[in-house]
């Protein structure tokens, strides 16, 4: 996989900055004002930002990145994501793990991992309990789909076992095992509190332990003194939930945090004039943004009209105006670096107005007036306005309809939808992307009501396909089918720009998300 992260560093040197610093210290001393609340990371404490507050520390009920950012350092999985520019995994609690056939995975646990609070060594029984509880109907785990292929876990020894699947499931290695549903909890500890927890863990096993959670303010992790693996680099990790990227940039510049994602519109400023002792790093993202067209709406029943719209939309203009040149155009729903990514789309990236007008003429449509529904965010509004202008060039008038979050995400059931500007999150396996566009999802998350037997078959078959070349081709074909339907114009995968102090050495996934347990001092 090709990585596109670029780094800009600024080390404070020179007389002026020295004098500024000295005068600030003098002023602080003279006025009796201290810096206790906003000191630079002293190497012992890592202060970082999460985009939302923690919801649950139970792997069966955790829903997203903010929860996993806390769980990954305090729990162990059989395997964890590797940091770096290419997607991959590394051993964690497993001393070894091997797929013996399509449905059987043997594992052996390390012999030096134990749970806190006296809950003993990690055993294969804990692995069995952790995975099987998620598929237990009685628990009503929201993460059950991640283990949909699990039949059971067979315990063959104190530290050995076999994961038995109902059917071959390749995403197991890229989504299930190294992410939330792969966290191993203590059977004894969980059973002692009735089988599930909320925000207070009973026993953990990772290099860090959960110390405290002040709702809406801070989660604090501390070193686990009983951890026998590579020592944790920081005495404490403090994770601050800051929803707004602008607020987190200010918090960073005020020295209140040491690592944060920043907004794309701040990127130019931060690159040209980074805060002191700071590295700015850009990473590609896995999100995918597209314009969808509802195939069940009679107004969009004409394939030529839909194709005219595909050719009229100018993605490079959107990249400049909406993403400030910080993101690249996409060719589909699968990002670069993942199996199934296409190097080119069928309809191109830049607008082809000549082709669009030709298709428009062939469609026989005139006085076309359409709507586009969007989530009310400035990036989306700008994108919609550009599309509005693009379509006006071929005689289509477009009305932009804005919605706030909870309203927008429930539009799928509305059969009158016309155009939609949409953005889905993604995990590092193409199966996750195609799963929303199968026929069964029409009106649920497949808002375009796209239906293709071939596409559905690819989605099913590719989950089990172990040959990477074949799997790659299958997902590429799936995206061709989406585009050929005329229901999709792919826009971008966005980007993840991060800033961090030069005093830390972050461990990041290829999409720029942090793996705090592997963060170290620079």
Partner 1 sequence: MLSYILRRTGLALVITVLAVSLLFVIIHMIPGDPVSTMLGPKASPELRAALEERMGLNEPLLIQIGLFFANMLRGDLGIDVFSNRQVTDIVLGQVPYTLTLILTSIGWSAIIGIALGCYSAANRNSFGDRLTGVLSVSMIAVPAFVVSLYSLLFFAVTLKWFPAIGAGEPGDFGDQLWHLVLPSLAIGLSWVGYIARLVRASMLEIMGEGHVRTARAFGLPERWITYRYALRLAILPTVTVIGVGMGFLLSAAVFTEIVFSRPGLGKLVIDSITTRNYPVVMGSVLFSTLIFVASTTLADIINALLDPRLRSAR
Q: Footprint of partner 1 on this chain (CB under 8 A)?
A: 24, 27-28, 31, 33, 35-38, 53, 55-56, 61, 63-64, 137, 140, 142-146, 196, 198-199, 212, 214-218, 240-244, 247-248, 250-251, 253-257, 404-407, 409-410, 436, 445
**CA of residue 325 relative to chain centroid, distance:** 21
67 vs 456, beta carbon nearer partner 1: 67
**What is the closest distance, in whole angstroms, from the C-beta atom of residue 450 to partner 1 in the complex?**
16
Would you give the distance in Å from CA 212 to the centre of its chain? 25
Nearer to partner 1, 226 or 244 (CB): 244
The SS3 call for residue 282 is: strand
We find the least distance from the C-beta atom of residue 355 to partner 1, in angstroms, to be 35
Contact predicate 121/157, CB 8 Å: no
> Closer to partner 1 at the Cβ: 96 or 407?
407
In the bound complex, what is the minimum distance in angstroms from residue 124's beta carbon to partner 1? Answer: 27
Nearest to partner 1 of 197, 478 (CB atom):
197
Task: Give least dist CB 407 to partner 1, A.
Answer: 5
Across-strand partners of 154? 162
In this structure, the strands spanning 495-501 and 278-284 are: antiparallel
Answer for the pair 286, 330: CB distance below 8 angstroms, yes or no. no
118: exposed, middle or buried (Cβ count in 10 Å: 0-12, 13-18, 19+): exposed
Instruction: Give the residue among 223, 146, 256, 197 at the shortest CA–CA distance from 501.
Output: 256
For residue 336, the minimal CB distance to partner 1 (Å) is 23
Maximum Cα interatomic distance, the chain, rounded to a whole number of Å: 78
Tokens of 440: 């069964």
Q: What is the smallest separation between the CB atom of 140 and partner 1, expressed in angstroms?
A: 6
Pick between residue 143 and residue 485 the one whose CB is nearest to partner 1: 143
Distances in Å between the Cα of 275 and the Cα atoms of 105, 107, 432, 509 are: 48, 46, 38, 24
Name the DSSP class of 438: S
Instruction: Write down the least CB distance from residue 238 to partner 1, Å.
Output: 9
Between 256 and 345, CB nearer to partner 1: 256
Our CA dihedral for 12, 280, 209, 148, rounded to 10 degrees, sits at 180
Task: Give the number of other Cβ atoms within 10 Å of residue 80's Cβ.
Answer: 22
Nearer to partner 1, 214 or 393 (CB): 214
Rounded distance between C-alpha atoms, residue 334 and residue 429, angstroms? 8
């Amino acid at each position: 996989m090709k990585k596109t992260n670029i780094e800009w560093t600024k080390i404070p040197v020179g007389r002026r900055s020295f004098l500024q610093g000295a005068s600030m210290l003098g002023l602080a001393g003279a006025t009796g004002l201290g810096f206790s609340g906003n000191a630079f990371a002293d190497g012992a404490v890592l202060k970082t930002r999460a985009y939302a507050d923690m919801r649950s520390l139970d792997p069966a009920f955790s829903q997203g990145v903010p929860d996993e950012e806390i769980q990954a350092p305090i729990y162990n999985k059989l395997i964890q994501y590797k940091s770096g520019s290419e997607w991959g995994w590394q051993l964690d609690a497993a001393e070894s793990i091997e797929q013996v056939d399509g449905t059987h995975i043997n594992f052996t646990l390390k012999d030096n991992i134990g749970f806190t609070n006296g809950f003993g060594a990690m055993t294969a029984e804990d692995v069995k309990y952790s995975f099987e509880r998620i598929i237990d109907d009685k628990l009503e785990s929201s993460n059950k789909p991640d283990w949909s292929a699990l039949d059971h876990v067979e315990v063959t020894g104190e530290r050995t076992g076999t994961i038995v699947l109902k059917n071959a499931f390749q995403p197991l290695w890229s989504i299930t095992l190294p992410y939330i549903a792969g966290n191993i909890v203590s059977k004894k500890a969980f059973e002692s509190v009735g089988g599930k927890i909320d925000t207070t863990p009973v026993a953990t096993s990772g290099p860090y332990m959960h110390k405290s959670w002040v709702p809406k303010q801070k989660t604090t992790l501390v070193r686990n003194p009983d951890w026998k693996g590579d020592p944790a680099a920081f005495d404490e990790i403090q994770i601050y939930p800051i929803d707004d990227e602008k607020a987190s940039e200010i918090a960073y510049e005020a020295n209140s945090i040491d690592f944060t994602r920043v907004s794309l519109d701040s990127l130019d400023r931060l690159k040209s004039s980074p805060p002191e002792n700071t590295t700015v790093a850009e990473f590609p993202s896995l999100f995918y943004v597209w314009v969808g067209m509802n195939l069940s709406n009679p107004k969009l029943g004409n394939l030529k009209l839909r194709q005219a719209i595909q050719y009229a939309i100018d993605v490079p203009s959107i990249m400049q105006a909406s993403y400030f040149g910080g993101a690249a155009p996409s060719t589909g729903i699968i990002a670069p670096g993942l199996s199934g990514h296409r190097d080119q789309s069928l309809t191109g990236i830049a607008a082809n107005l000549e082709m669009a007008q030709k298709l428009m003429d062939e469609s026989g449509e005139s006085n076309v007036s359409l709507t586009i529904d969007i989530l009310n965010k400035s990036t989306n509004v700008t994108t919609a306005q550009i599309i509005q202008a693009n379509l006006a060039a071929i005689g289509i008038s477009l009305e932009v309809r804005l919605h706030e979050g909870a309203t927008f995400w429930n539009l799928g059931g509305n059969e009158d939808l016309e155009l939609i500007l949409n953005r889905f999150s993604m995990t590092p396996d193409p199966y996750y992307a195609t799963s929303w566009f199968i026929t069964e999802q029409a009106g649920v998350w497949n808002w375009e009501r796209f239906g293709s037997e071939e596409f559905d078959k690819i989605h099913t078959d590719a989950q089990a396909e172990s040959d990477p070349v074949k799997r790659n081709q299958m997902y590429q074909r799936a995206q061709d089918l989406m585009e050929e339907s005329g229901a999709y114009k792919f826009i971008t995968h966005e980007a993840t720009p991060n800033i961090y102090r030069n005093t830390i050495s972050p461990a990041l996934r290829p999409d720029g998300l942090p793996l705090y347990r592997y963060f170290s001092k620079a």
